Each structure stands twice: as C-alpha cells, then as structure tokens.
A and B are shown apart, each in its own frame.
Chain A
Amino acid sequence: MALVNLESVWKSYKKGRDRVEVLNDISFRVNSRDFVALMGPSGSGKTTMLNLIGGLDRPTSGVVTVNDLVLNNLSSGKLARWRSESIGFVFQFYNLLPVFNARQNVELPLLLTKLGRKQRKKNAALALDIVGLSDRARHTPARLSGGQQQRVAIARAIVADPKILVCDEPTGDLDRSTATEILRLLQILNQEHDKTIIMVTHDPKAAEYAKRTMLLDKGKLVSRLIQPDVEAEVEA
C-alpha cells in the first residue's frame, strides 16, 4: 500500500453561516521515497491538503491513511504524538521560535522523545550539519538570513527522523539562488536520506526538482505529471 493515501476526501470550512468547500473528492497516493510537487492557484486548497496529510486537520469526509494508519479516528493527543514521530513540517515563513538559537530550535521536537539531554544536543547538531549550518548553531533566527532560517527549519523537520516531509511553499519567500540551494537540499534528503516529500509550490522551476507534479484547481486534482528526468535536467 502507498505510504500516503487519500480516498474520496472532502473538506469544507464554516465561514459564518456559509460553508466553503475547499477539497472536493480528492483521491491521491504517494509512495515511499516519492517527491511530489503540488501546484495550483491561490486558494485552491493546497495547504488544506497538506494539513490533512500532516495530521494537522481532519477531513469532512473520506479517509486519510498514512503508513497504514487511519488518521481520521485518532484523538488529538494521539495525532500530536504521531506527528512528532512521523512528519516533518517546513513552512514558507520558517516558523522558528525567536527566543531560541538555531540548535535549540532544532532540538524542540526532541523534547518530546525519551532521548537524554546530551543525545538531544548531539542529534540537533547532526541535523544542523546535514543542512550545512553547523557554524550558525548559536545564532537566533533574527541573526540569520531567510535561506539560513529555512535550513534551520528543515533541520528541525528531520531531527526526529520522520519518513515524510511536508513543505508548504518552502522557497516562497526566498530569492532564486537561495531557493535553488533549499531545493537541492530537499532533493538530497529525498535521494540520500529516503525522505518522502510533498511540497506545495507556485514556482514551476521549483516543481522541477520533484519527481512528479500534481495540479490542484478549485479543490480538485486536475492532472498528474510525471517527470522522470528532472534530476538530469537540473544537473545540466
């Protein structure tokens, strides 16, 4: 079975008296070690879909299964625990905690594990090393550039070694060359560290780094693009 499986998923939000239909009958699968780009116009429901996959929200109807676990039925406490073990989140605006330095930000998810203080510190340092930011470990987010902050966020997302990374416009706030660095990093995590990545983006160039691209419009998946040779193109 696929690692991520959405079956006939509907999602609507209440807005005052009205209901806003956001996702209409989405069925979608992601296999292990896949790297999927999710594109679509603003308001089409991309973030909503990511939230369902990441266990931040529940569908109005339909079934979300991740790693053979049906998320619909989990209590919010169980869902929280599951998120901490299974999913790494990367956001457009990094969402680092401003009072903590880079290493401490990366260490946050480990506070929920049984690891001792030394081991936590060590793992956080390792994650920072993977994203190439060892020399900025003691810097607070305010003293880091956007690209560096996003690296810290990625380190935080991978520190507990989840199988899946869920990235919502990770390069949306970055210039082209910094964006390229971040995308390369994601690609390495996908290829060398076996992370399954689902990434929302508005940027077709960013989508080229993924193995395939899904297009979402008005709450419906409209196409599936396979890009087997993206890597070769990018390298060239």
Chain B
Amino acid sequence: MTIFGFLIKSMFRRKLLVTLSMLSLTTAFLLFILLRSVAVLFSGDVIDVPDVRMQTNSKYAMIFPLPHRYGEEIAAVEGVLAVTFASWFGGTFREGDTSAMTFAVDPSTYFEVHENYQISTEHLEAFLGLRTAAVAPEAIMYRYDLEVGEKVPVTSSIYPNTNGEPWTFDLVGTYRSENESEAAFLPFLFHYEYLKEASGESDVGWYTFTIEDPDKATEIAQIVDSKFENTADKTKTMTESQAFRNMMEQFGDISLMMNGIIGAVFFTMLLLTANTMIHSYRQRIPDLAVLKTLGFSDGKVARYMIFESLLFCTSSAAVGIGIAVATLALIGPYLPSGFVLIVTWNTLFWGTCIAVGLGLFIGLVPAFSANRLVIVDALHAR
C-alpha cells in the first residue's frame, strides 16, 4: 500500500455517496464545457478577420438587397482597391436539414477581395470557366460528403427553381481560409450570373471591398454611405470584423444566459459537494482519531483532507471535461455550418481553476476540523 492508495481508499469509505457526488460533479463540468463553448460562439470571440476588408450592407437590415450599380460607385472611392459582391442564397443540401451558407458571387472578383482564401489555380480556372460551377469549403464538403467533380443538388426557399426541382451545381473545386478560426464560417460559392439568368434577380445582397489603409476604414465608410444617403437604398458600411461582432452581439444575451446557467450549476455543486465532504468527514472522525493515535500528525491529517477533496474535484473535472471534448468532436460535423463549438484554452483554464478552487474550498472545513480534532475527546465520545 502506498500513501496514495491509502488516500484513495479512505476517500471511498462511503462508496455510494462519494461515487454519486463525483458523478454529479462530472456532469457539472461536462455542462460547463458545453455551455461555455456555446457562450464562446455567441460572444464572437472565435473569429479574427483582418481589418483590411469592409462590407457595405443595406442600412435597414443586413438581408435587404442593394442595387447592382453600387459596385462601380464604391470602386470609385479613393483608397478602395477591389470590390466584389454576394447574395445570400440559403441553400439546403440535404432534405430536412437547415440551410448552409451558400452565396451567389462574382467568381473573378470574389477571390481577389478575399485574398485570405486559398484556392488552386486549377480549381479557380474551372470555377471561372463554367456557368453552373461551384466551389465548396472543406467543412461543407466533409459535412455533406461531397467530392470534386460531382453534381450537387441544392434547394433554396429564397430562390425556388421555376420547375420545382433543386438547383444543380457542378462542384469543380474546393477552397480554404488561411485563418483557421474561420474554417466553419466559409460559404459554398457559385456564379451570380447563373442565379440572375435563372431567377431574374438583379439586386445583390452586399458588397465587400478591400482598402489600401486600414486606418482609413472609418473615413471610407463615411464616404461610401454618404454617396447613397439620398437614395431609397441607404447603406451601412463597416469593417468585416465589426460586422461579425455586430452579428454576434445580437446573440449577446445567449452568452450571458449560458454564463448564468454555469454559475447556477456550480453554486448547486458547491453546496452539494461541500455537504458530501462534511458528511464524509463526520463519519470518519473515529478513523481520523485512530490515525492520530498511531502517530499521524495534525498537519498530515489536515493535508489528507485537502488532498482528498482536491482529488475528488479534479478527477471529476478531468472526466467531465474529457467527455465534453469528445462529445464536441463527435457532434461537430453534424452541427449547422457556422455553428462551431470549440473548447478554448480560456475555457480549459477556467475549468481547471474552478476544479482546484472548489477542491480547496470544500476541503477547508474538513481539513480545519481534522487538524483540531483532539484524540482523547474523539475516542471518549465513542
């Protein structure tokens, strides 16, 4: 028997009580990780896009379309390098599934503006060369089990095909972003011209453009918006990262709610586990008195109590976090695209802090009592 074995065994003197408490604590940490990953998603902390790209949307709502001619006017503003546009298509790849990010774009300028997107020359040429061509990011390829060279049927509630059949695209290539964090937010892309011909659509969803000097972003946004100030289709221009943060801030409440639930869960856990520890301490007073009789010092017995509650909390945390990480990895591919749940270092850090903090806190009372336990009183009370 080692000291460690001795401590583990002592801890499980009340097997059922301790096991059940560990299970609930494990569940609490599982919840912590899952809820945190949702909170992180909606806090918009996940992505970092460079501030050299700006976006012009309708002033009234992001989904309102803008006239096609705005593109040239934006391009004419000083400091603007390249302009492209996109329209939200809302494609569904699998019956009964939610829509994935699907944009109708101008292929030639789209990759010029999104210079962080990586596509092979071969795939880009294939994309440019065929009116019905499309390219997909790795996340979508993986999620819907697509392969380059395939014909992909896609339905859209925004642009239903006239004959009622799904749209069919020739998947000619794939692309990725050099920003790892963006991977799950990349859209499926196809020719705007194809959409225009088939549906008669003449407006576009929004404009994206690059600028020469990131410091001039605010100034350029003002110039662009003032150009359309006196038209029916007023605009709102901002950097892409700002746009992303705005979008996520609409979900800010979700983040707050998640953190609230986490707080409630751990408060309950604190009471529950403290109760377990104190209960288990009381039952072990005779044992502790015996240990002290045998020559285990006050400090040693107190340290055992702290160690035990630390072990209790950290092992529950490790199992809970482990299960959560595995769960996220397993369900990740089945979540709607854009819904990327990741466990950040920050989350792991706080998980560890909570585990250690909880362990120290609930070990405090038993440790203090064990330290003060007077042998003759404890034995006399038997």
A residues sitting closer than 8 Å to B (CB atoms) are 47-48, 51, 54, 56-57, 76-77, 80-85, 89, 91, 93, 95, 97-100, 104, 107-109, 111-112, 117, 120-121, 156
Whether A120 lies near B1 (C-beta < 8 A) is yes
Count residues on chain B whose CB falls below 8 Å from chain A CBs.
25
Q: Could you tell me the distance in whole angstroms from the C-beta of B2 to the nearest C-beta in chain A?
A: 6
- Chain A residues, Cβ within 8 Å of B293: 54, 56, 83, 89, 95
Q: Which residue from A51, A76, A120 sits with its C-beta under 8 Å from B298?
A: A76
- A53 shortest CB reach to chain B, Å: 13
Contacts A56-B376, A57-B376, A120-B1; A100 near B297 (Cβ below 8 A): no
In the complex, the answer to whether B13 meets A99 with C-beta atoms within 8 Å is yes
Alpha-carbon distance A84/B286, docked complex (angstroms): 18
| Residues of chain B with a CB closer than 8 A to A47's CB | 380
Please give, as numbers and ranges, the residues of chain B lying within 8 Å of A89 by CB-CB distance: 293-294
B291 CB within 8 Å of chain A: yes
CB-CB under 8 A from B376, the residues of chain A are 48, 51, 56-57
Q: Is B12 an interface residue (CB 8 A)?
A: yes
Find B294's partner among A108, A117, A121 (CB 8 Å cutoff). A108
Q: Are A98 and B13 in contact (CB under 8 A)?
A: yes
Contacts of A48 in B (CB 8 A): 376
Cβ contact within 8 Å between A109 and B294? yes
Is B10 among interface residues, defined by CB-CB distance under 8 A? Answer: yes
The residue on A at minimum CB distance from B10 is A99
CA–CA, A82 and B292, complex, Å? 12
**Which residue of A84, A93, A97 contacts B295 across the interface (Cβ within 8 Å)?**
A84
List A contacts of B380 (CB < 8 A): 47
In Å, the complex CA distance between A47 and B379 comes to 10
How distant is the Cα of A48 from the Cα of B2 in the complex, in angstroms?
Answer: 34
Q: How far is the CA of A45 from the CA of B29 in the complex (A)?
A: 53
Does B228 have its Cβ within 8 Å of any Cβ on chain A? Answer: no
State whether A97 and B2 are in contact (beta carbons under 8 Å apart), knowing that A81-B297, A83-B295 are contacts in the complex: no
Known: A56-B376, A95-B286, A120-B1. A108 touches B297 (CB 8 A): no
Q: Could you say which residues of chain B place their CB within 8 Å of the CB of A120?
A: 1
A76: B residues at CB distance < 8 A: 297-298
- B1-34 Cβ-contact flags toward A at 8 Å (1 or 0): 1110010011011000000000000000000000
Nearest B residue (CB) for A159: B294
A104 to B3, CA, bound (A): 11
Query: What are 5 sample pairs from A and B whose C-beta atoms fall under 8 A apart?
Result: A77-B297, A77-B299, A89-B293, A112-B296, A156-B294
B44-84 vs A, Cβ < 8 Å mask (1 yes, 0 no): 00000000000000000000000000000000000000000
Query: How far, in angstroms, from A156 to B293 measured CA to CA in the complex?
Result: 12
Cβ of B145 to closest chain A Cβ, rounded Å: 53
Main secondary structure of the interface of B (DSSP, over half): helix
CA gap between A83 and B295 in the complex, in Å: 5
Q: How many A-B residue pairs have CB under 8 A?
A: 71
List residues of chain A with CB within 8 A of the CB of B292: 80
Q: Which residues of B are at the interface with A, using a C-beta cutoff of 8 A? A: 1-3, 6, 9-10, 12-13, 286-287, 290-299, 375-376, 379-380, 382
Secondary structure type dominating chain A contacts: helix
The chain A residue sitting closest to B11, CB to CB, is: A99
Q: Decide: B1 and A84 in contact? CB cutoff 8 A.
A: no
Supposing A93-B382, A95-B286, A104-B1 touch, asked if A109 and B295 sit within 8 A by C-beta, the answer is yes
| A81:B295 contact, CB within 8 angstroms | yes
Given A56-B376, A97-B290, A111–B297 Cβ distance below 8 Å? no
From B297, which residue of chain A is reached at the shortest CB distance? A80
Are A111 and B6 touching (Cβ within 8 A)?
yes
Q: Report yes or no: B294 in contact with A107, Cβ–Cβ below 8 A.
A: no
Q: Is the CB of A112 within 8 A of B382?
A: no
Q: Given A56-B375, A93-B382, answer yes or no on A99-B297 (Cβ-Cβ < 8 Å).
A: no
Nearest chain A CB to B104's CB is how many angstroms away?
69
* C-alpha spacing A1/B297, complex, angstroms: 29
Q: Are A80 and B9 in contact (CB under 8 A)?
A: no
Residues of B contacting A97 in the complex (Cβ-Cβ under 8 angstroms)? 10, 287, 290-291
Contacts A51-B376, A85-B295, A99-B10: A117 and B2 contacting too (C-beta < 8 A)? Answer: yes
The answer to whether B1 and A107 touch across the interface, beta carbons within 8 angstroms, is yes
Query: Residues of B contacting A57 with CB < 8 Å?
Result: 375-376
**A residues within 8 A CB of B297?**
76-77, 80-81
- Tell me, in angstroms, the Cα distance from A51 to B378 when the chains sit together: 13
B12 and A112 form a contact (CB under 8 A): no
Alpha-carbon distance A91/B287, docked complex (angstroms): 13
**In the complex, the 7 A-B pairs of residues with the closest C-beta atoms, listed nearest first:** A84-B295, A80-B297, A83-B295, A95-B290, A57-B376, A77-B297, A109-B294
B283 to chain A, nearest CB (A): 10
CB of A20 to closest CB in B, whole Å: 12
Chain B, Cβ-Cβ closest to A168: B379
Please report the C-alpha to C-alpha distance between residue A89 and residue B3 in the assembled complex, in whole angstroms.
21
Which of A56, A82, A99, A109 has a CB less than 8 Å from the CB of B9?
A: A99
B308 to chain A, nearest CB (A): 13
